[in-house]
A and B are shown apart, each in its own frame.
Chain A
Amino acid sequence: MENISKIYPGTVALKGVDFTLNKQEIVSLLGENGAGKTTLMKILYGMTAPSSGRIFYNGEPVKFKRPIDAIEKGICMVHQHFMLVPAFTVIENIIAGSEPGSNIFLDKKKARQEVIDLISKFNFNVDPDIKVEKLSVGEQQRVEILKVLYRKADVIILDEPTAVLTPHEVDDLFAVLRRLKDDGKSIIIITHKLKETKEIADRVVVLRDGNLINDNVDPKKVSTKELSEMMVGREVNLQARRPAKHIGDVCVKVENLTIEEDGKEKVKNVSFDIHHGEILGIAGIEGNGQTQIIEALTGIRKPKSMRLTLDGKEITGKSSDFLKAGIGHVPEDRLSMGLVKEMSVMDNMILGYHRESEFCNKKGLLLKKQISQYAEKLKTDFLVKASSIYSAVSSLSGGNQQKIIISRVFSREPKAIIVAHPTRGVDIGASEYIHKQLIELRDRGAAVLLISADLDEVRALSDRILVLYEGEIVSESMPGELSEIEMGLLMTGGNYMVEEGRHHG
């Protein structure tokens, strides 16, 4: 790809980037969120056209108008969010769109045979007749890869493939990729994960803010610190820890939390406490019960059983009761759960607390003047970048949107607060700010429950770490006690000797 530029209204996503992929090589395309890596690959596989620049494939110039053009040439993409139909079987998912059979009818027998052949050739270990909704995340990813192999791809692009995998599944994936490379395929991995880049890539290409920084990095010779500095453009202190100054009495006590969903126990009799002035981190792969626990602790969902006390007082009821009791909540997904993007910054800053006496009088009327004064103060105090408090939230950046939620929750000085994935999709500047606010809130005596899929974030911020696997707490440790590999093993249910005696009963 030569001199590729891509201009969107309002931003330049790529500025004259050159990118090459050699045969039988695995290249890692590295960069932060917004660096332009996904855009570059979207151009390569035909989803979008470059504003300028050319693409050459096997020496010939090519122009892709739609993904099908790229697929026909042999360039296929495995997306981060799987493009599968849960209600269809594995076979149906693989063949849909390129079905075998000489006439209008589906040749189910031939399809089955072809898929089974592929599965055994690459040793994928997936049941072809099962409905995709019943597969694990790792297995679903393999189906995605089978899809591209079925279409005889020579160039395979993987977008953040390890984002949803356990460390064990990542190893499986890398083994598969090496097998594919030996078979003659060329692979591009889009990622922002440094350790995995070093493990699998033959060559690393770094993008930053739409520019090509370096396209010939040897992963064996470079350190993760150097890589991250290339990605970010300045020195980054990855693991800065600020340990708790004073951990007080137990604030939040959770006992016997059990949650059932669709007949299965998603959370199995979990108990833990959080002290004043402490950040308790829960590490775990998404889907192991975190969402359910958050919902139970914020009153959104009524669990099968739970006894929750806050400073000794029992809390029950609906989400409004929990909010009133002083439990703050920074939700997992800010736009779908924490904000109303069509409404103004001001309106969003009282969301959840809008019935408090300072915003609403006994007759049910809103106290508009008080609300706008309150919003102005929060905007200033928390550095929310917006034209005014009347602007629609949709016009703000992700980081500033998150700041609205942070300002709203933190300024109520909650006794306890549940924070989920606070820096997901947030740029590094805002992330650092949010972490700082969390630490300060903790130091003011709040009990903080941090749930995040970002293991680095959990290890950097927590004073104590629990690992959640399949609805159970499988380990409790102090930060630094367990290595990342050990934590990874626990997150996937691996047996771990040191565990004995560490279980929080």
Chain B
Amino acid sequence: MVKKTDNAGKIKMRSSFINSAVALIISLILGMVIIGISGYSPIESYMAIFGVSLGTVKGFALSLSQATPLIFTGLAFAFAYKVKMINTGAEGQLYAGAMAAALVGAYITNLPSGIHAFAGFAAAFIAGGLVALFVALCKVYLNANEIIVSLMLNQIIIFFTSYLANGPLKPPGSGVGQTKMIEDTAKLTKLIPQTQLTTAIFVAILTACLLAYLLEKTVFGYEIKVTGHNLKASNVAGINVSKTYLVTFALSGAIAGLGGAAMVLGVNYRFVEGFSSGYGFGGISIAALAAYNPIGVIFSAFLIGILRSGTITLNRTTSIPVELVDIIQVLVLIFVAAPDLIKAITKQVKKVKPKSSREEHMEVKTHDI
């Protein structure tokens, strides 16, 4: 039997988990400060948030439905990061996927229910994938910085889809920029009536599982990991690095596109201008919190979903700012990315208790960011 402490993979998972947990806790504590400044009691507010989002049926459904697009964008960022590429283009890929799904949903008729929804997802997958493929091609063949290219594309796609939704594709009589409503056969089944929770969440979880399987059990996953860790060694070992970059990044964008489809086919039933409330960039925090582990993304998206759900609901009756969760997300990203920062803070705060962070000093340092 192999001793647990020797296992490279297990050591890394344990220290990543502790890192993420501590980062989340610190961020929640700082969130309390923000609530306090707004003039509310932090403890009561958090209790109210969790009470609503976990304690009520509608709140719970909202938690899961808020988590759904985040799972997609979180997976997108995490997967791309496995080859050390940074996909900041999830927002644009989301919009591209949404538009594609909206068009398939609205303009293709005579398809049975399940197939139509599937076609919507497929179209979104292809749209998001093509966008990301373009970025990856720029990186591989033009040596461009994928971050900037993605960010530029975000703006371009958002403006362009907005143009379509306000111009040629706008249904007569619409007040806002949007497209024609999709056919009933394309709509996703709601799991709980009068909520936004649909079967899309199953698609999200399934995607996460498939990605995890791909990474751990397949040769392609092996090549992804080698390329991400050591590019030169990857070349020497005969791995087709260009192909690995292109396929991985394209997949990343395709998955983000699926998130757009989830919103269109399940929530809005059409493409609506500005439908994303920060889902694209939110994926970065989700991925970091999950230590870039596909299964972990499901849980970290759920956690953030809970926070969002509670804050959104409470915002109707109190003036607890909705942006609170956005800030907590950024704080989480900052702290997860800087493990040494966490250690410095925990040293100050927890002077008496035995420190779990001490173990990490002895273990293999595997953090890349």
- Complex A–B touching at CB under 8 A: yes
Q: Interface of A with B (CB < 8 Å)? A: 298-300, 318-324, 329, 331, 336-344, 347, 351-352, 354-355, 360, 364-366, 368, 387-388, 390-392, 394-395
User: Are A391 and B233 also in contact (CB < 8 A) when A318-B238, A365-B217, A366-B217 are?
Assistant: no
B233–A390 touching, CB < 8 Å: no
The answer to whether B219 touches A340, judged by C-beta atoms less than 8 angstroms apart, is: no
Question: Which 6 A-B residue pairs are closest in the complex by CB-CB distance?
Answer: A320-B238, A392-B8, A352-B237, A387-B6, A319-B238, A390-B7
Q: What are 25 sample pairs from A and B whose C-beta atoms fall under 8 A apart?
A: A320-B238, A321-B238, A323-B237, A336-B232, A340-B225, A340-B230, A340-B233, A341-B230, A342-B12, A342-B366, A343-B225, A344-B9, A351-B233, A354-B222, A360-B219, A364-B218, A364-B220, A366-B218, A366-B219, A388-B2, A388-B3, A388-B6, A390-B2, A390-B7, A395-B8
Residue in A298, A339, A395 whose CB lies within 8 Å of B233: A339
Contacts of A340 in B (CB 8 A): 225-226, 229-230, 233
Task: List the A residue with the shortest CB-CB distance to B235.
Answer: A300
Inter-chain contacts of B2 with A (CB < 8 A): 388, 390
Beyond A320-B240, A338-B233, A340-B226, 6 additional pairs, beta carbon < 8 A: A323-B237, A354-B237, A360-B219, A364-B220, A390-B2, A390-B8
Contact between B219 and A365 (Cβ–Cβ < 8 Å)?
A: yes
* In the complex, residue of chain A having the shortest beta-carbon distance to the beta carbon of B7: A390
B364 touches A392 (CB 8 A): yes
Determine if B3 and A354 form an interchain contact, defined as CB atoms under 8 angstroms apart. Answer: no
Q: Find B229's partner among A338, A342, A391 (CB 8 Å cutoff).
A: A342
Most buried by B among A338, A340, A355: A340
Q: A340-B229, A364-B218 are in contact. Are A391 and B6 (CB under 8 A)?
A: yes
Across the interface, do A366 and B222 meet the contact criterion of CB distance under 8 Å?
yes
> A331 CA to B236 CA in the complex, in Å?
8
Q: Are A329 and B236 in contact (CB under 8 A)?
A: yes
* A336, B218: Cβ atoms closer than 8 Å: no
> Within 8 Å CB of A342, what residues of B?
8, 12, 229, 364, 366
Hey, which chain A residues are within 8 Å of B233, CB to CB? 336-340, 351
> Are B223 and A352 interface neighbours, CB within 8 A?
no
Q: Which residues of A have CB within 8 Å of B217?
A: 365-366, 368
- Tell me the smallest distance from the CB of B365 to a CB of chain A, in Å: 8
| Docked complex Cα distance between A354 and B220 (Å) | 10
- The interface residues of chain A lying within 8 Å CB-to-CB of B232 are 336-337
Chain B 187-226 against A: per-residue CB contact (8 Å), 1 yes, 0 no? 0000000000000000000000000000001111011011
Q: Collect the chain A residues with CB atoms within 8 Å of residue B11's CB.
A: 392
Q: Is B239 an interface residue (CB 8 A)?
A: yes
Are A392's CB and B226's CB within 8 A?
A: no
Contact B7 A388 (CB under 8 A): yes
Picked from B219, B225, B226, B364, the residue with its CB within 8 Å of the CB of A394 is B364
B230→A336 contact, CB < 8 A = yes
Say which residue of A321, A338, A387 sits within 8 Å of B3 (CB atoms). Answer: A387
By a CB distance below 8 angstroms, the chain A residues around B7 are 344, 388, 390-391
Q: How far is the CA of A101 from the CA of B6 in the complex (A)?
A: 58
Min CB distance, A408 to chain B, in Å? 10
Q: Which residues of A contact B9 (CB under 8 A)?
A: 344, 390
Docked CA distance A364–B220 (Å)? 7
Closest to B8 in A: A392
Which of B2, B9, B229, B236 has the largest number of chain A CB atoms within 10 A?
B236
What is the size, in residues, of chain B's interface with A at 8 Å between Cβ atoms? 29
Residues of the B chain whose Cβ atoms lie less than 8 Å from the Cβ of A338: 233, 236
Q: Are B222 and A319 in contact (CB under 8 A)?
A: no
Contact between chains at A337 and B8 (CB < 8 Å): no
Contacts of B239 in A (CB 8 A): 320
The residues of B that contact A300 with a CB separation of less than 8 Å are: 235-236
Q: Chain A residues near B230: list those with CB within 8 A.
A: 336, 339-341
- How many angstroms from the CA of A446 to the CA of B349 in the assembled complex? 62
Cβ distance B92 to chain A, nearest Cβ, rounded Å: 30
A344 to B232, CA, bound (A): 18
> Chain A contacts of B240 at CB under 8 A?
318, 320
In the bound complex, how far is the Cα of B182 from the Cα of A441, in angstroms?
69
Kindly state the separation between the CA atoms of A86 and B3 in the bound complex, as whole angstroms: 49
Q: How far is the CB of B242 from chain A (nearest CB, A)?
A: 11
A394 CA to B7 CA, complexed, in Å: 12
Give Cα A331 to B230, complex, Å. Answer: 14
**Nearest residue, chain B, Cβ from A360:** B219
Q: Which of A329, A342, A354 has the largest count of B CB atoms less than 10 A from its CB?
A: A342
Complex Cα distance, B229 from A340, in Å, reads 6
**Do B226 and A343 touch across chains, with their CB atoms under 8 A apart?**
yes
Q: Contact at A390–B219, with CB atoms within 8 Å?
A: no
Assembled-state Cα–Cα distance A340/B232 (Å) = 10
For B235, the chain A residues whose CB sits under 8 A away are 300, 319
A193 to B3, CA, bound (A): 43
- In the bound assembly, the distance between CA atoms of A297 and B223 in angstroms comes to 23
Q: For residue B238, which residues in chain A have a CB less than 8 angstroms away from its CB?
A: 299, 318-324, 352
Closest to A318 in B: B238
B223 touching A319, Cβ below 8 Å = no
Distance, CA A19 to CA B318, complexed state (A): 74
A344 touches B8 (CB 8 A): yes
Please, which residue of chain B has its CB at the minimum distance from the CB of A372? Answer: B2
B residues 1-25 touching A (CB-CB < 8 Å): 2-3, 6-9, 11-12
A344 to B10, CA, bound (A): 11
A491 CA to B93 CA, complexed, in Å: 57
Given the interface contacts A338-B236, A339-B233, A392-B364, does A354 sit within 8 Å of B219 by beta carbon?
yes
Q: How far is the CA of A340 from the CA of B224 in the complex (A)?
A: 12
* B198 CB to nearest A CB, Å: 32
**Cβ–Cβ < 8 Å partners of A354 in chain B:** 219, 222-223, 237
Please determine whether A347 and B222 come into contact, CB atoms closer than 8 angstroms: yes
CA distance A364 to B214 in the complex (A): 10
Give A344 to B222 CA distance when docked, in angstroms: 12
Contact indicator A364/B236 (Cβ below 8 Å): no
Residues of chain A with a CB closer than 8 A to B218's CB: 364-366
Q: Is the CB of B219 within 8 A of A351?
A: no
Among A324, A387, A392, A394: residue with most chain B CB under 10 A? A392
Distance of B246 from chain A, by nearest CB (Å): 16
**Would A352 and B222 be within 8 Å (CB), given that A366-B217, A387-B3, A395-B364 are in contact?**
no
How distant is B226 from chain A, measured CB to nearest CB, in Å?
5
Q: Contact between A343 and B8 (Cβ–Cβ < 8 Å)?
A: yes
B225: which A residues are within 8 A, CB to CB? 340, 343
Cα(A196)–Cα(B236), bound, Å: 36
The answer on a CB contact under 8 Å between A351 and B226 is: yes
Q: How far is the CB of B5 from chain A (nearest CB, A)?
A: 8
